[in-house]
Structure 1
Amino acid sequence: MGAGDMVTSLAGAAGYGMALLWAILIGVVLKYALTEAVGRLYLATGLTVIASLRSAARWLPYAFFGFVLVIGLLYGAALSSVASLALSTLFPALPVRPLALVIALASAGIVYVGRYSLFERVMSGFMLAKFVGMVVLAVVTLVTMDDPSGLVSSLRPRLPEGDVITVLALVGGVGGTAGVASYSYWVREKRWRHASWLPVMRADTAMSYTVTFLFVVCTSIVGTGLLYGSGRTITGNDGLAALAEPLGADLGSAARVLFLGTFFLVTLSALVGGFNALCYLLADSLRTLRGVPDDEAERHMGQRSRPFRLFVLYCAATSVAVTFAGKPVPLLLTYAAVGSLVLPLLSGALLVLLNRRGLQPPYRNKTLSNVLLSGSFVLFGVLAVVQLKETLGGL
C-alpha cells in the first residue's frame, strides 16, 4: 500500500462517494491473482521470477531490466518528495527538499543493511501503524458526520458515464507493481519450498490483499465524509497533503496530525519496500542476463550480495540527483509509461508459464486463475496503452 492507493481511492470518493468500491475490489482480486501466481511459479520451479521469464521469452529479462532501471531512476525522488511534503506540513520549519534527501537516504540505508529479518520487522511495524491510523480516521469520520445517510446512499455500485478510464485507473492503482513482481524473492527469503507451502503462501497473499482492501475502504470513508458533494477534489499527491487542512477544520487538530502521520508512514513504507523490490529485480535481471546458474543465485542477487547493494546505492544516488534536478516532466512521463508496461508483460508471461504441460497439477493454472490472469493482461494492457498515449502527448 502506497500513496497511489490513497490518491486513487480519495479521488474516487471525491467524485462518487463509496459507489466505486466494486472497482477497488476488482483491482484487489486481480492483484491477488497475479501475486499468488508469482509465488506459485517459484514453488513449482524453484526459479526466481526473472529466471522463469527467460524461459517464456529470452527478451523478457532484458525488457524488465530496462524497465526497472528507469523506474529506479525516479522512484526514490518521487516518493521521498511526497513523504517530506507530509512531514513539512506537520512541521513547517522543516525544508522540503533537504528533508526528501534524508528520507530517501534513510530508506536506502534500511535496505542496504542486508538482513531480510530486519526489513520484515520494519515493514510489519509500518503496516500496523498506518493501518491502525487509517481505521481510527475512518471511525472518527463516521462518528462526526452530520448526515451519515449520504455515505450509505453512495454505496450503490455505479459505472460513471464518460469516465471509464478513471474507473480503470482505480482498478489498476491499488496493490502495488514492483511488489507484485518481487513476491517470489520474499517467498524465497522465507524458505518456503514445494507444494506443502502452497496453502501458507496463498493465506499470506490473501491476508495481504484483505488488509489492503480494508485500508482502501477506510480511506474511501474519509474521502467520502470530507470531499463527496463538497466541490473539493484530489488532483495529485500535493492535493492529498492539502486535504489535511479541511480535515483538521472538520475533525480537529488531532485528526489532522493523525492523517499526515499516516500519509507519511504509507509513503515511507512504500519507499523502503519499493527499494527492496527494485534492487531484487535489478540484481536478478543482471544475474540472469549474465547466465549465472541458480545454485549461485544468493551470491549474485541476495540482499548481502554486491550487485544488490550496488543497486541500492544506484537508487539512493538517483534519488539525490533527481531531487536536486527538480524532477523534469519528460522523465516523469517516461517513468509512468515504463511502469505501466510491467504488469501486462508479467500477466502474459504467467499465463504461458503456468499452463505448461510439464508443470505438476498442484501448480498448474486452474480455470479461475486463467480467467483472472487474462483479465489482468487485458486491463493492464489497456491502461498501458492509455498511459503511453498520454506520454507521447506530453512529450
Structure 2
Amino acid sequence: MTATPGSPPRPSATDAAGPTRPGPAAPRRGRLALLGPGLVLAAASVGAGDMVTSLAGAAGYGMALMWAIVIGVVLKYALTEAVGRLYMATGQTVIMSLKSAARWLPLAFILFVLVIGLLYGAALSSVASLALSTLFPVLPVRPVAVVIALAAAAIVYVGRYALFERVMSFFMLAKFLGMAVLAVATLATADDLPGLLGTLRPRLPEGDIVTVLALIGGVGGTAGIASYSYWVREKGWADRSRLRLMRADSAVSYGITFLFVLCTTVVGTGLLYGTGGSITGNEGLAALADPLGADLGSVARVLFLGTFFLVTLSALVGGFNGLCYLLADSLRALRGIPDAEAERHIAQHSLPFRLFVLYCAVTSVAVIFLGRPVSLVLTYAAVGSLILPLLSGALLVLLNRRGVDPACRNGITSNVLLGGSFVLFGVLAVVQLKDSLGGA
C-alpha cells in the first residue's frame, strides 16, 4: 500500500478480511507497546464519576460491592476489545461500520455527540476548577474553569497522536500513583484494619439495586470506548498480526482502571463506612478533602485534591479528543467519503477534527458563563446513556456476520458478554431516561 504524501509509512500486510487499513505505523517496543491506546482509554475514561460512584458505594457498603465493579470492568473490556477487533476485521472505523449496519446510525451518533460535546467541557472543567479552588481558595471557580477548558482544547488541537498518547499516559500514571498512595496510607493508619478488610465479603444490597447498576455502569467510559478504534488506528495496529497486542493493551487499560477504583474504594471505606457520611456529587467529592486531611494529614489532603484535579483534567482532554474523532468521522460517513480518503477528514491534524475541537472549546466557555439549563443537562444525561446499548447491539450484529474473518468473529464468550452489556446498559438507559423525564 502506498503511503499518503507527507505522512508516516503505513503497514503493508493484507489479510483475508480485506486490505491493510491506513494509519501511521508505530514500531513495536516490546512491553512498552502495550502502554499505548489502552492508557489513553484509561486516562480518558476514569473520571470524577468513577470516584463519586465508588466512594458512594464504599460509604454505604464498604468494599462489599467490589464484585459489581469487577462485572463492570469485564463488560467494558468486552466492548472495547470488540471495537478494536471490528476495526482489524473490516478496516473501517466504528462509525463507518455502524453505517454498514444501518445508514441512519452515523446521523444518530453525530447528534448524540454534539449534545454531549455541548456540556462535556463545561461540566468537567468546572469540576477540575472546583478541585483547584478547594486547594487554593483564592482562585475564582468560573474563570479558572474557562482557562482549563481552553487549555484542554489546545492540547488536543495542536498535538499529534504520539504527543497526545504521552500526555495521557502521564496523566494516568500520575493519578493512579496518587490514589494508590492514599489507599496505602488509609490501610496503614486504619484503627480497625481487620474490620475494614472484612467488608470485602460480597453483599447484594436489599432494595438498592440502582446502586449496584450505577457501580457496574460507572466503571470506565462511554464515548471513550467508541473512540478506542481511532487510537488503535493512529498507533498503526491495522491487521490481524496486532490482534493479540490490542487485546493485551485493552486488558492493561481495564486492569489499571480496576486498581484505581479499588484504591478509591479503600479510601472511601476507611473514611466514610460506618460514619453516616456520604458523597453527593462533585461538591461532596471536593469536601471529602477536609476529613481526609484531618485523618491522614495535610499532605494527604493536597495529594487527594491534586489527584482529583488530574482525574478530571485527563478525562477532559481525552474526552475532547474522542468526541472530535467521533464527530469528524460521523460527518465523513454522512458525506459518503470512502476509507481511502479518511486521513484528510478524521486525523488529529485534519480540518474537520480541528473545527470540532473549536466547537467543544467555544461551547464549553459559553455554557460555563451562561450556566447549565436543567432541561439541557437532562437531555445530555439521557442521550449519553443510549450510546453503550446502541454500541453493544451493533457489535453483536457486525461481528457475527459470515463475511467477518473467523479470527475476528465473535465467539461464544464475546457474544455472552456483549449480550449482557446490551441488556444491562439498556436497563441503565431506561432508568436514566425515566429519571430525566421525571425531573423535567
Q: Same fold (TM over 0.5)?
A: yes
Query: How far is the alpha carbon of 1:59 from its aligned partner?
Result: 1.1
2:134 to 89, 103, 117: 89
Query: Which amino acid in 2 is paired with 1:69?
Result: L
What are structure 2's unaligned runs of at least 5 residues? 1-45
Q: Is 1:48 paired with 2:48?
A: no
Q: 1:170: which partner in 2?
A: 215
Q: 2:111: which partner in 1?
A: 66
Q: Is 1:186 paired with 2:231?
A: yes
2:74 to 29, 45, 66: 29
User: Residues 159-238 of structure 1 correspond to what in structure 2 (within 5 A)?
Assistant: 159-238=204-283
1:115 to 160, 183, 188: 160
CA distance in 2, matches of 1:297, 1:183: 16
CA distance in 2, matches of 1:137, 1:114: 32
Q: 1:322: which partner in 2?
A: 367
Q: Is 1:337 paired with 2:389?
A: no
Query: Which amino acid in 2 is paired with 1:322?
Result: V
1:370 to 411, 415, 429: 415
1:105 to 144, 150, 166: 150
Query: Which amino acid in 2 is paired with 1:193?
Result: A
CA distance in 2, matches of 1:99, 1:54: 40
CA distance in 2, matches of 1:374, 1:88: 43
Query: How far is the alpha carbon of 1:114 from its aligned partner?
Result: 3.8
Q: Is 1:347 paired with 2:392?
A: yes
**Which string of whole-angstrom CA distances, capped at 9 and with x for unpartnered residues, describes residues 316-352 of structure 1?**
0000000001212111111110000000000000000
CA distance in 2, matches of 1:248, 1:162: 34
Q: Say which is worse superposed, 355-364 or 144-153, in terms of deviation.
A: 144-153
1:79 to 99, 124, 130: 124
CA distance in 2, matches of 1:239, 1:75: 20
Residue aligned with 1:378, SS = helix
TM-score, structure 1 normalization:
0.99
Q: 1:389: which partner in 2?
A: 434
Q: 2:15: which partner in 1?
A: none
What are structure 1's unaligned runs of at least 5 residues? none
Residue aligned with 2:249, SS = helix
Query: Which amino acid in 2 is paired with 1:46?
Result: G
**Which string of whole-angstrom CA distances, capped at 9 and with x for unpartnered residues, describes residues 9-40 of structure 1?**
00100000000000000000000000000000
CA distance in 1, matches of 2:288, 2:195: 20
Q: Say which is worse superposed, 79-88 or 325-334, in terms of deviation.
A: 325-334
CA distance in 2, matches of 1:74, 1:111: 17
Query: How far is the alpha carbon of 1:275 from its aligned partner?
Result: 0.2
Q: Is 1:267 paired with 2:267?
A: no
**Which string of whole-angstrom CA distances, capped at 9 and with x for unpartnered residues, describes residues 19-76 of structure 1?**
0000000000000000000000000011000000001111111111100000000000
Q: Say which is worse superposed, 53-62 or 31-40, in terms of deviation.
A: 53-62
Query: How far is the alpha carbon of 1:165 from its aligned partner?
Result: 1.1
Residue aligned with 1:295, SS = helix
Q: 2:49: which partner in 1?
A: 4
CA distance in 2, matches of 1:295, 1:40: 20
Q: 1:145: which partner in 2?
A: 190
CA distance in 1, matches of 2:101, 2:215: 30
Query: Which amino acid in 2 is paired with 1:312?
Result: V
Structure with bigger helix share is 1
TM-score, structure 2 normalization:
0.89
CA distance in 1, matches of 2:264, 2:177: 12
Residue aligned with 1:182, SS = helix
Query: How far is the alpha carbon of 1:150 from its aligned partner?
Result: 1.9
1:134 to 156, 162, 179: 179
**Which string of whole-angstrom CA distances, capped at 9 and with x for unpartnered residues, describes residues 242-301 of structure 1?**
000111111110000000000000000000000000000000000000001111101011
Q: 1:124: which partner in 2?
A: 169
CA distance in 2, matches of 1:85, 1:34: 32
CA distance in 1, matches of 2:90, 2:405: 10
CA distance in 2, matches of 1:322, 1:48: 31
**Which string of whole-angstrom CA distances, capped at 9 and with x for unpartnered residues, describes residues 73-117 of structure 1?**
000000000000000100000000000000000000000014111
Query: Which amino acid in 2 is paired with 1:389?
Result: K
Query: How far is the alpha carbon of 1:193 from its aligned partner?
Result: 1.6
Q: 1:15: which partner in 2?
A: 60
CA distance in 2, matches of 1:130, 1:390: 32
- Fraction of identical pairs, as percent: 81
2:203 to 158, 164, 173: 158
CA distance in 1, matches of 2:173, 2:197: 28
CA distance in 1, matches of 2:69, 2:305: 23
Query: How far is the alpha carbon of 1:181 from its aligned partner?
Result: 0.4
CA distance in 2, matches of 1:139, 1:261: 17
User: Residues 249-288 of structure 1 correspond to what in structure 2 (within 5 A)?
Assistant: 249-288=294-333
